[in-house]
Structure 1
Amino acid sequence: MPLETLIYIIIAGILALFIALFQYKYKSKGHQTLTKVFVFLRFATLFSIFVLLINPKFEQLKLYNEKPNLVIAIDNSSSVKYLKQDHHVLDLVKRLKNNAALKEKFDIAFYSFGKKVLNTDTLTFSERETHIDKLFSQLSQVYNTTIAPTVFISDGNQTYGNDYSIAAKTYNQPLYPVILGDTITYTDLKIQQLNVNKYAYLKNEFPVEALLSYSGNSEVHTAFEIYLGNTKIYNKTIHFSKTKNSEILNLSLPANQAGVRTYKAVLQPVSNEKNTVNNTKNFAVEVIDQKTKIALVSTLLHPDLGMFKKSIESNEQRAVTIVKPQEALEKLQEFQLFILYQPNPSFENLMSALNNQKTNSLTVAATKTDLHFLNRISEHYQFEITNQTEDFQAERNINYAPFLLENLDFESFPPLKSNYGAVLFSSAYETLLNKKVNTVSTTEPLWATFEINGKREGLLLGENIWQWRAQSFVNTKSFANFDRFIENLIQYLASSKQRDRLNITYEASYNGNQSVMMEAQVFDKNYVFDARERLTIYVKDELSKTEKSFSFVLKNNAYQVDLSNLPASQYHFRVVAEQGNISKSGTFHILDYNAEQQFLNANVSKLQQLAMSSQGTSYFIARTESLENDLINDSRFQTIQKSQKSNTSLIDWKYLLFIIALSLSLEWFLRKYNGLI
């Protein structure tokens, strides 16, 4: 307690005693004993009130014991069952869970991991992916300030994500890997990886890169083959040995027919090979017979130009050429869409030609745009010119109808710099994104599209959209979501087809370990999103001729259906909107591939290195007898007595209020009883 507060309390006690003596002792002729009682009660009341007004603070020290944590992380992927280790894992988990000495020493937490990390000990061994680096990244956030030795039960084979040994170093906890497998090396041929473009163009050739590997000691001879249906279209003899255990093949295949073409790559197994699942890989290529050419017209140098080119060309069906207005005018017939970046009077002839030929365009208007020129040449909108600029954030319009919007976190994106002032449209338009100033939503469009007399146009009112693509990568660790958003916009603007009331988003082909998700949007006759519709998809397996139906589920402003449980095959589907009596059909392929079945052994060396670098110990699943004793007897993991110091105000002490009430009540009662009131 500070000295100043102590002085105030002493003064309060003297003052309270002086007042009490003055009131009852000065010229008092009553009974002396009764007077002393009254003085004491009045002193207690006044002193308590004065102390409450001073409100001194006292330090409180609380002592408590904190046990170390014991994290038990269990691989829940299907590779555990494929390696026939699932029963051993269940027995070990049961043993650890029932160990009384472990429970007494540690706070035990169970986690399962595969594609996701879950705080549970329920195991199915059915996960299609193993994302180990996500496990260590999430655990490091939970246990970054505590002692948490971790029992890591896994085969150490990761099918997705970054190298988990790096994430384990940031976790900074002792690791005790339990290795699900043995050290026996089997002869194994494997197609390690196939690199193939998603699209190819009709009557051209597309490249294929195959990474082949071999585990074994003797020399082997095999053949690498590629089939289209039942027809062999490529064959090469491959030689492997103990020293020559890998090979990279680069080849080209012809694209002679439009549509989705499914291929099968086969590395012929040898006679004593145990695992032949990883000798085969399927891949699909969509062969298209045309390429959309897009002109990106600008007289400026700006990072936005690079963003549009990279994002649009992420779809190989698109080709973007950056040109100046006069060059674009000379090649007018070569392009299907024009992106006009911050137009000025040098764009006049080009924009007049686009209007005359009803060619679709996207106009980006921002701080370097000549608004007087746009007001003069535009027939559909006029800018309020204030010569001021403003930063506007984007707010998604969930009722946007022309195409399905990618579910991006627009509110986390940096603001776009634009001209301050309203835009007045003389024609009907659809708002894709609204302007948002700080946290205030507006009804002003930041990005709009409109369709008049068969011509489609877009208007973006801001620059520095390149920062959006960068922020999307920060949010999702990938450019894919943002690029799909731009792709949907470009696909809509580049097309002159009549707007559909039912839009479906899906891939032409899916890998066997990939989630098969479809999204759909349905609109009423006024092209307003209909959230009351019932959507059903009828899926027919083209090989087995079986048919199944699934219902879509409404999520935000779209309907979704998960078809991940369908087996690998070729499918024809039909989506039906029951109330609107509309439907749409298509096809997709699910390729036969299970990443979890590509491994024959546990990654023993990596797991042992993980234990060594973290000052832990590794164990094979068949030899875990000493695991519990090692954890219990390790002196690094002890219960720690901790203290917590806090400052408590006297005003929070309820007993002082009780003392005031009690002393006042007793004083009143005694005065009343003795006839002094």
Structure 2
Amino acid sequence: MKFNFIQSLDFASLLIITSSVFIFIALFTSHKEKFKTFFILRLLVLCLLLLYLFNPVIKYSTNKYSELPWALFFDNSSSIKFHKSPSLNSINLGIDNFLDQLYSKNISFISHSFDTEVKSLKGKLSGSGQTTNIGNIAEYISQNKNKLAGAVIISDGIPTEGVEPSLAFLNSGLPIHTIGIGNKSSLIDIFINSIESPTVAIKNDRINISAEIQSIGDINDRFSVSLYDDSRLIASKYVELYGLGSKSIVNFQFQPKSLGRQKYKIQVSSVSDEVNISNNKQNFDVLILKEKYTVALFTGSPNKNTSIIKKTLKNNNRIEVDHYIKIFSNKFSTPIKNFWETSYDLILFENYPIEPLSPNFIRILAKKIISQQSGIMILAGPNQNNKSLEGLSIIAGFQIQNEKTADGDYNYWEFSDNVPDSENLPPLSRKFSITSIDNNTSDIAIYESGWTLLARNINRKIRSVIFTSPDINKLFFYKNELTVFSKIFSESINWLLRSGVSSENFFRLNRDYFQQGEMAYLSGTKVGHEDDSLGFYVDVYKENKFILSTNFDMNMEKSIWEARFRTPNPGRYSYNVHSKHNKEIVQSTSFNVLDSQIETSQVFLNEKLLKEISASNKGKYFNWNNREFIFGEMPQKGKQEIKANVIIFKDSIQLLLLILIFICTEWVLRKKRGLL
């Protein structure tokens, strides 16, 4: 320890000090019995003030020796529990024995587990980690290398996320040993990696399906790949699989026979030792359309709804409309003979009939509808009443009730699924009061009074729809986040025609379920609006909570729209495809995200990586069965810390407080003795 003054003494300072001492001695000699306490306090204050004046410095140092621990990192990812040898239970027993030997050899250590992140080891390994990020260990070592003697990584060496470990561990500055767990041969897994197919096709046209089959593990055999239409086998082929992550392409070609969204499945045969057979099959949809749909539109008297309905139908280039406008009692704008001679996919009655149709007309119409399997849609008009639909309502599967309705009496209503919110919907008047004839009817929208606004019916494969308000034109001009007119009219047309023509674009994910963190690919075929040139975007929701959004890009080579996004946490999600032209929802479809199983597809010992990590950091690699030999490579290390300490009296707050205490004490004593 050293003691010295920062300030040097000059003559004036020395004179002041000497004079002060002599004066103090003289006063103390003459008054020491009476004021002894005050002299002591003043002497202490004087000494402290002198220390402040000359600012002496005390320097001293302390030595401290501390042991440096070894950092142990145990792999807790899912792949650890899938190794046949050693088992997870055997690994946990081996870890307990390993730690006990470290204690017995007085080797200081700290234990961690790692998967997606590095954390303190608490209890036994569970193999619950969804991914393996070995690069995080390198980051931890870099941040704490001055506090560690070295590191030991116990793992199977299979990184499934993060940076390339062999690069992350370069020049860490510490010895890093590795212990490899598991067998070098991988578990076997065969799965359908992706399916490429058109999202829209024409009935009886040949369509091409391509499936990418990937195999992992020690495989070298032929497997069957089958294409199903629901449960009906369409085609089957054999493919040679070689494992080790190799991929094979299987192509199918067939002619769809049914209209609408048809569900197909591709399935590959499995093997007895396969780790996961749920990914051996994938479902996908293809929208099968007719080249043209013919619609007969009957109008009793043109009104505000007529032009809107006709324009909406003609905007779709797959729909051909024959418009029959009633001119006289037995005459239409288009000869009625043309109607009887033409096969129609849909017959739409708009403000027609105004007067009840004759029984003979009803009878012939019913035969035509049944033989041609035509859909029926009835849209209430301003010139109709309950009697207008006598006879026709029975064909459509509805029954008219004699409930009087007043013109101009508007009622609030809502969709059965309450989407969108009923508070935002405009009130509508009611023209017809209907009930269903059988249990094949479903109400899509209802009035607050309980009467039906929009209903659908299926009877002997004949589909029918009725809209009981004459105010559908109001919905056409009503806009909100979900276009109500589209939900009422366009979706009804789509349902009646058994097709997706109402949405012109049909988009599909490359799989019907995903693992967490996988990339999902969404593609769609452009069918026909000029406005689609502006493009599309997709929003992803989970239980009505917005998750993410991304834009589509046009693949010019394949003439399809494509988008991709990384799947979030496990759960059931839905995606909404929007047109950039009017923000309208083109399609809404659900999909599932499962817990990540990426670990299960890579279960083997990657000795190469573990040896590279050890070799680049002055460490050694050991197999799990030879782990006891590592103790000779783990010497106990420590570090000596020499700390220099400096005490400067002028900077001491404690010294200043002490002076104030002495002065205050003297002041209190003087006041008690009456000296103030």
Smaller-chain TM-score range?
0.3 to 0.5
TM-score, scaled relative to structure 1: 0.47
Q: For the pair shown, which has the larger CA radius of gyration, 1 or 2?
A: 2
TM-score, scaled relative to structure 2: 0.47
